[in-house]
């Protein structure tokens, strides 16, 4: 990367507005952390704005040099009304605002900021217009759409999709076409070759119905697997969902374990010890766990709803369905692969991590988008 490219955002202040700057944000939080790093990489200053939560202070170390502000909520968290947020955005004297996630008050706060500053803002819905998500909580979404989300989407300078499939979802639900499509970046890919790990299948992510984890446990029990095969599940979620999963895991026998939240070096070690990452989700934006696996040469098992068709096309991924019997069939196939077949998948995963999903490629794309939006200078003209 040239010095000029690295400084493309020099002197610019870019706000990243989201509903949770902590583990409660799941993959959206991981995307925001990566986005802030990419802005700094190109000479800009990233400032994160979020709703306050119990883990914000604890997870602040993940943000590195990035400044973050959390605003207290009044009323239900599902709405996330934070009356101090708009003034906080105004006080930051931002050149551009990038909203991550929808269906909560930060969308309204971002629109009000744009109306008052006449500066551009972008929206990344993070798959929150997917059919699976739109089919749930319809009444609340209808109120949010007519109350503020429709205005937010229509007044945005740009709407960003992670994948072509998400771009189609956005067009279907909002009537707005012409999204920019940029994937999430993965971590820096390892050098050299992966040693062949034990027969461990690993899940890392939220404990939530959208992740389809009960079907994964059922599929594991139905699969034809070697005696040394293990399913290791790591993640976090609301207490009721975690309790249900813990009960299901306990009934599945000693080959299945749930180890709770995992971060940092422990997370990297778990991925490095996995034969495959598994993600049998009903809906995803662009799952960071898969990208983290590819960066370590770990292939994966996932549904088409994970929106990473490049994994199937390049041979880094095996496709499973969402039903237990379908998951069982793919688990059996995966752990029956010989060393040569697994190594080929591992090399394909590294190829993707070093190519289209590399931080350098994605950061350069975003720097160009941000610079163009700020040069255009329009924002919030239709905000109400």
Q: Which helix (H) or strand (E) holds 288?
A: helix 288-295
Q: Is the pLDDT of residue 35 over 70?
A: yes
The pLDDT tens digits for 219-262 are: 999 999 999 999 999 998 889 999 999 999 999 999 999 999 98
How many percent of the chain have pLDDT more than 70?
96
Per-residue model confidence (pLDDT) at position 377 = 65
Q: What does the pLDDT read at residue 89?
A: 95
User: What's the confidence (pLDDT) of residue 221?
Assistant: 96
Model pLDDT for residues 138-150, shown as the tens digit of each residue = 888 888 777 788 8
Task: Domain 200-354: give its CATH code.
Answer: 3.40.50.2000
8 A C-beta contact, residue 330 and residue 320: yes
Average pLDDT of the chain, as a whole number: 88
Cβ atoms of residues 70 and 52 within 8 Å: yes
Task: Tell me, yes or no, if the two domains 3-184+359-376 and 200-354 fold the same way.
Answer: yes
Per CATH, which fold does 3-184+359-376 belong to? Answer: Rossmann fold (3.40.50)
Confidence of residue 340 (pLDDT cuts 50, 70, 90): very high
pTM to 2 decimal places: 0.72
Q: Quick one: pLDDT band at residue 84, thresholds 50, 70, 90?
A: very high
* 49, 16 contact by CB (below 8 A): yes
Confidence of residue 317 (pLDDT cuts 50, 70, 90): very high
Mean pLDDT of 14-20: 92
Q: What's the pLDDT tens digit per position in 256-268? A: 999 999 888 899 9
Model confidence band, residue 363 (pLDDT cutoffs 50, 70, 90)? confident
**Tens digit of pLDDT for each residue in 88-120?**
999 999 999 999 998 888 989 999 999 999 999
- Which pLDDT band, with edges at 50, 70 and 90, does 6 fall under? low
Confidence of residue 286 (pLDDT cuts 50, 70, 90): confident
Phi and psi torsions of 93, nearest 5°:
50, 55
- With a cut of 60, say whether residue 5 has pLDDT above it: no
Per-residue pLDDT tens digits for 160-169: 998 888 889 8
Residue 294 has pLDDT above 70, yes or no: yes
Read off the pLDDT of residues 51-83 as tens digits, 9 standing for 90 and up. 988 888 888 888 878 888 989 999 888 888 899
CB-CB contact of 95 with 103 (8 Å): no
pLDDT at 59: 80
**Per-residue pLDDT, 186:** 82
Q: Domain segments of the chain: what residues?
A: 3-184+359-376, 200-354
Burial 96-126 (b: 16+ CB within 10 A, else e): bbbbbbbbbbbbbbbbbbbbebebbbbbbbb
Q: For residues 350 and 186, is the Cβ–Cβ distance under 8 A? A: no
Q: pLDDT band for 319, please (50, 70, 90 cuts).
A: very high
Strands 317-319 and 300-302: parallel
């Amino acid at each position: 990367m040239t010095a000029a490219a690295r400084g493309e955002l020099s002197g610019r202040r870019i706000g990243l507005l989201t509903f949770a700057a902590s583990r409660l944000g799941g993959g959206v939080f991981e995307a925001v952390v990566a986005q802030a790093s990419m802005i700094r990489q190109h000479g800009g200053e990233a400032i994160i704005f979020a709703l306050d939560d119990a883990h914000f202070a604890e997870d602040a170390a993940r943000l590195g040099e990035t400044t973050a502000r959390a605003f207290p909520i009044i009323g239900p968290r599902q709405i996330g009304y934070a009356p101090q947020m708009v003034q906080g955005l105004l006080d930051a004297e931002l050149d551009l605002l990038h909203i991550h996630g929808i269906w909560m008050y930060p969308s309204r706060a971002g629109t009000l900021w744009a109306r008052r500053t006449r500066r551009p803002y972008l929206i990344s819905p993070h798959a929150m217009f997917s059919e699976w998500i739109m089919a749930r909580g319809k009444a609340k979404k209808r109120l949010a759409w007519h109350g503020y989300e429709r205005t937010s989407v229509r007044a945005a300078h740009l709407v960003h999709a992670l994948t072509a499939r998400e771009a189609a979802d956005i067009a279907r639900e909002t009537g707005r076409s012409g999204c920019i499509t940029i994937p999430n970046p993965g971590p820096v890919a390892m050098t050299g070759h992966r040693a062949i790990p034990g027969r461990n299948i690993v899940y890392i992510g939220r404990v939530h119905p959208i992740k389809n984890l009960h079907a994964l446990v059922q599929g594991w029990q139905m699969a034809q697997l070697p005696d040394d095969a293990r399913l290791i599940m790591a993640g976090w979620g609301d207490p009721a969902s975690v309790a249900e999963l813990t009960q299901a895991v306990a009934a599945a026998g000693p080959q299945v374990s749930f180890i709770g939240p995992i971060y940092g070096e422990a997370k990297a070690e778990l991925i490095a010890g996995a034969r495959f990452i598994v993600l049998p989700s009903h809906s995803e934006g662009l799952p960071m766990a898969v990208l983290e696996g590819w960066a370590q040469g770990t292939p994966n098992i996932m549904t088409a709803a994970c929106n990473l068709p490049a994994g199937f096309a390049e041979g880094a991924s095996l496709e499973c369905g969402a039903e237990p019997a379908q998951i069982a069939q793919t688990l059996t196939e995966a752990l029956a692969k010989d060393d040569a077949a697994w190594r080929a998948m591992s090399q394909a995963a590294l190829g993707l991590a070093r190519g289209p999903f590399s931080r350098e490629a994605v950061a350069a794309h975003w720097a160009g988008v941000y610079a163009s939006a700020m040069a255009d200078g329009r924002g919030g003209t239709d905000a109400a």
